Amino acid sequence: MSTRQAPPPVLGDRRFRRQVALVAVLTMLLVFGGRLVYVQAVQGPELAEQARDDRTRTSLIRAPRGDIVDSDGEVLATSVERFNVGVNQRLVRNYERTDPETGEVLGSGAAEAAEVLAPLLGRDKAELGAELVGESTFVYLAKGLTPQEWRAIDALGIPGVEPEETTERIYPNGTTAGNIVGYVGADQDGDGQPDGLAGLESTFDDVLKGTDGSLTVEIGGTGQVIPTGLREERPAVPGETVHTSIDRDLQYFAQQKIDEAVAKWGAQWGAVVVEEIGTGRVLTIADSGTVDPGDYQKWADADRGSRAVSAPYEPGSTGKLPTFAAALEEGVVETDSLFTVPDRLTMPNGQTFSDNDPHETWQLTTAGVLANSSNTGTVQIGDRIADDVRYGYLRGFGFGRPTGIELPGETGGVLREPDSWDSRTRYTTMFGQGMSVSLLQNTSMVATIGNGGVRMDPRVVDGRTDGDGDFLPTETVEGERVISEETAGEVIAMMEGVAADGGTGVLGQVEGYRIAAKTGTAQIVDGSGGLNSRLGSYVGLAPAEDPRLAVGVVMYKPAGMSYGGVIAAPVFRDVMGFGLRQLGVPPSTTPAPNLSRGPGQE
């Protein structure tokens, strides 16, 4: 059987296969070419941007929080530069420590980095070394380092050890004005900056913070900045500086004096306010046991603010001044109008009132009633004025409404409208009971009298300096006239009698100066409605012939003696004397008026 051989391939088949192969090659070239075109033309910009993102790093530039300064520009609160230090664990493994003379490698890697870094951070080297090992690009090693501490670390040249610039809030004067300045806490609103929690730090938190900036740079494979690479910087805008009206030296002195008095008399707390007459500028708000803003956690919440601003109390006999001012202004009495003043008196509506101490029936002038702080004489004077008219004067002097001072937590006190007064309250409000005020309000009332009867809103901030260095003064409103200048002068003359020999405020006399004052003592209602505690207060101005300062003092719940003319007057004397000397006010050279107090009262 014969075997047949396959026919030889024909030329056309070979050509066909070559064409198929060529088409396949061309197809592949077209696919790869298209892919190349797609990558370069379409995806190119996106991939390049991704690559650049991988090589760039953005760091935050913290905006320094603005300063708070006193009236002379002395710093009460400021921010200092600090550094948090972290490590890129992937880079620190490249560290080599060499002999500076021979260049010999003495050690390398994370262990050697920990060896030289631990002493500068005050850390255990084994514990620190463990934190340097891993794959994280940033792990905190220490926080709050000073610039000097960071420079020492940076000089080691350890790759991957990187700074994070931040700030720390400091209060160089300790407790001085701590109740006014306030303090900051942690970042609570997510903006990366601490938040003001009390005082001016809270009120002006937004302007003190400023605006953070940023710095974006391009880095190489070992973490170094590429000099010719991308660099974009958005500068930080510093916070504004808040200029207060506080006199730091006077503030410190007043705090010392009120602390001493509280300790001496066993009071629960005490406070002092000093206001510059004619401007409303408050030079001092001193509270006993003032908080240290740099260590505020050691103080109870109730002790971290200012009770002079936030704690209402019955003004007692210091609250008689609006009654006398209203009576003189309305023309229902004159300073020498005569009254029969027993130690106990029943008014036409059946309500009975008594003076603090028993005494024989006196014949007292209006000035004598004030000098002796007689309740029975005061209700006779106040009874000559319609309730709604007298209420209007109380409101005019600022009672029953916040002053608007730039501090959080201010009380407006309590002053109910006349139609809600009962038959007794209508009289007690004549001598400072049945209503409440803050010490700031009470001092402002005296400053109004000293300013010729024109009330100025108290303020503790003179203005702000913005990031460009421009000073923005606090907007002030025109004063509100409460009583005439003539009436104000008559009230001051009668208040001088209070501080003169024989008056209730003699212990408040300031050597070399004429002062005008009023003492106050009031009962405090406890939780069960009892009246087992008292307070003493003293308010006044000086020099009486040309008033410059108004000072108010309150001592809350002293353990024993409670007369304001005894426990509060010496604080007034010392603080007023220091303040007048601080301002360079010359001593008085003219004699005080000698108003008649009544027969047998001269």
Active-site positions read 317
Position 206: which residue type?
D
Tokens coding 296:
């505020």
- d(CA 182, CA 205) in angstroms, rounded, equals 11
* Of residues 279, 579, 582, the one with CA closest to residue 459: 279
Antiparallel, parallel or unpaired: β 362-365 and 338-341: antiparallel
CA atoms within 13 A on the CB side of 477: 12
Burial of 294 (0-12, 13-18, 19+ CB in 10 A): middle
H or E stretch at 98: strand 96-98
Entry field: residues in the chain: 602
**Do 519 and 412 form a contact (C-beta atoms < 8 A)?**
no
**Do 449 and 492 form a contact (C-beta atoms < 8 A)?**
yes
Contacts of 546 (CB under 8 A, 6+ apart): none
- d(CA 373, CA 353) in angstroms, rounded, equals 13
**3-state class (DSSP) for residue 535:** strand
Q: How many CB atoms lie within 10 A of CB 207?
A: 16
Distances (CA, A) of 68 to 172, 193, 197, 406: 11, 17, 15, 13
Contacts of 567 (CB under 8 A, 6+ apart): 261, 265, 267, 536, 555, 558, 561
Tokens coding 290:
């003032």
**3-state class (DSSP) for residue 299:** coil
- d(CA 294, CA 170) in angstroms, rounded, equals 6
For the CA atoms of 173, 176, 181, 182, what is the dihedral angle to 10 degrees?
Answer: 100
Distances (CA, A) of 426 to 376, 422, 433, 445, 524: 14, 6, 10, 20, 19
- d(CA 374, CA 368) in angstroms, rounded, equals 9
Burial of 185 (0-12, 13-18, 19+ CB in 10 A): middle
Cis peptide leading into residue 543 (ω within 30°): yes
Q: How many CB atoms lie within 10 A of CB 78?
A: 18
**Do 551 and 572 form a contact (C-beta atoms < 8 A)?**
yes
Position 248: which residue type?
R
Contacts of 23 (CB under 8 A, 6+ apart): none
Residue with tokens 């003359």: 493
CA atoms within 13 A on the CB side of 116: 20
The answer to whether the Cα torsion of 129, 133, 138, 139 is positive or negative is negative
